[in-house]
């Protein structure tokens, strides 16, 4: 089953010839979840062959242009492509007013947008379907900002086919065995569940944290995450600037990943002052070796 993320934009602030600003597409089976939607996102979605009609929900971290200016264009295009399915849009306060005002002078969208305003001060589940939950949690930046954690739900136990045959287990008992029950044979013999099932695959998870200063408590919000995206706008040479602008350094991103016991870290949202981000990658890897640097188009299977 698919659970992968495509980085659509890996740069901070304005687009450059190398990097678009922030947007990411998370593909979970046939559903796309878009995180942030900077200028040019619809072009990047096409470039990297993301099926835009599969977008179920959009999660906006904060109201800085480099995370949100692509929204009117993308939604207008979806409308032109005859989308009728409602779109869920999770965003900070005022996004709805801004967006509605933007589109007031143009052809109305052909599908409803359901706005959900983020207000949580503690981690809070804001979306769920059969497969996943999405939790938002506050980050710290010049304006209110939230991170998002996508986590698969626990899967049922896998029943062993050889055991079904061996004990001639009837269909009516299989569901309860998958849910953890033991099996009692006609001779009243108890067969323990562990003998009948294999444990399910571990639920996978992805967390996106942008934009933020270093936050010690963040590692608890994303504890044991499989893949952590953490902004690293600056390297150690930009430490003072990162504090002034409420951003993080690569080293700080790595400290969060280490404390969170993340399996892998992606750093991104690089300042355009870095034409080559090798130094940032090395700084992060000195603390958390399993770090990769985001590039536009980078796809990671989780």
Tell me the window of 32-40, 51-59, 66-74, 114-122 that interacts with Zn ion (CB under 5 A): 66-74
CB of 177 to Zn ion, least distance (A): 49
* Chain mean position to CA 17: 25
Q: Which residue is nearest to Zn ion (CB)?
A: 64
Is 224 a catalytic site residue? no
CB of 174 to Zn ion, least distance (A): 50
CB of 84 to Zn ion, least distance (A): 32
Show the binding pattern over residues 45-64: x = contacts Zn ion (CB under 5 A), - = does not: -------------------x
Q: Which three-class secondary structure string do you get for 218-276? A: HHHHCCCCCEEEEECCECHHHHHHHHHCCCCEHHHHHHHHHHHCCCEEEEECECCCCCC
**Does 251 contact Zn ion by CB under 5 A?**
no
Nearer to Zn ion, 144 or 203 (CB): 144
Nearer to Zn ion, 4 or 272 (CB): 272
How many Å apart are CA 213 and CA 40, to the nearest integer?
26
**Does 152 contact Zn ion by CB under 5 A?**
no
User: What phi, psi does 248 have (nearest 5°)?
Assistant: -115, 160
Nearer to Zn ion, 253 or 302 (CB): 253
Number of residues that bind Zn ion (CB under 5 A): 3
Neighbours of 104 (CB within 10 A): 8
Nearer to Zn ion, 183 or 270 (CB): 270
Q: 152 - beta bridge partners?
A: 132
How many Å apart are CA 265 and CA 258, to the nearest integer?
9
Nearer to Zn ion, 68 or 132 (CB): 68
Nearer to Zn ion, 13 or 258 (CB): 13
CB of 71 to Zn ion, least distance (A): 15
CB of 214 to Zn ion, least distance (A): 15
CB of 291 to Zn ion, least distance (A): 20
Choice among 36, 66, 211, 226 that is catalytic: 66
**Does 66 contact Zn ion by CB under 5 A?**
yes
Show the binding pattern over residues 199-218: x = contacts Zn ion (CB under 5 A), - = does not: ------------x-------
Cite the active site residues: 66
- Binding-site ranges for Zn ion (CB under 5 A): 64, 66, 211
């Amino acid at each position: 089953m698919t659970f992968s993320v495509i980085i659509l934009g890996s740069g901070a602030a304005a687009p450059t010839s190398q990097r678009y600003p922030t947007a990411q597409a998370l593909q979970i089976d046939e559903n796309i979840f878009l995180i942030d939607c900077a200028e040019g996102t619809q072009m990047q979605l096409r470039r990297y062959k993301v099926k835009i009609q599969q977008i179920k929900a959009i999660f906006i971290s904060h109201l800085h242009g480099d995370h949100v200016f692509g929204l009117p264009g993308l939604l207008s295009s979806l409308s032109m492509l005859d989308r009728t399915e409602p779109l869920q849009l999770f965003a900070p306060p005022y996004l709805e007013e801004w967006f509605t005002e933007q589109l007031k002078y143009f052809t109305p969208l052909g599908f409803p947008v359901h706005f959900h305003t983020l207000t949580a001060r503690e981690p809070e589940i804001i979306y769920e379907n059969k497969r996943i939950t999405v939790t938002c949690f506050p980050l710290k930046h010049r304006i209110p900002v939230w991170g998002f954690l996508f986590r698969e739900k626990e899967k049922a136990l896998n029943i062993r086919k050889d055991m079904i045959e061996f004990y001639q287990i009837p269909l009516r008992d299989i569901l309860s065995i998958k849910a953890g029950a033991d099996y009692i044979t006609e001779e009243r013999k108890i067969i323990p569940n562990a003998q009948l099932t294999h444990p399910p695959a571990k639920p996978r998870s992805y967390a996106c944290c942008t934009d933020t200063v270093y936050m010690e408590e963040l590692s608890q919000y994303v504890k044991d995450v499989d893949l952590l995206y953490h902004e690293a706008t600056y390297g150690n040479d930009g430490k003072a600037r990162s504090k002034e602008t409420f951003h993080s350094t690569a080293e700080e991103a790595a400290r969060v990943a280490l404390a969170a016991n993340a399996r892998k870290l992606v750093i991104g949202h690089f300042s355009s002052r870095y034409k080559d981000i090798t130094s940032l990658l090395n700084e992060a890897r000195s603390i958390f070796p399993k770090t990769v640097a985001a590039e536009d188009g980078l796809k990671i299977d989780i």
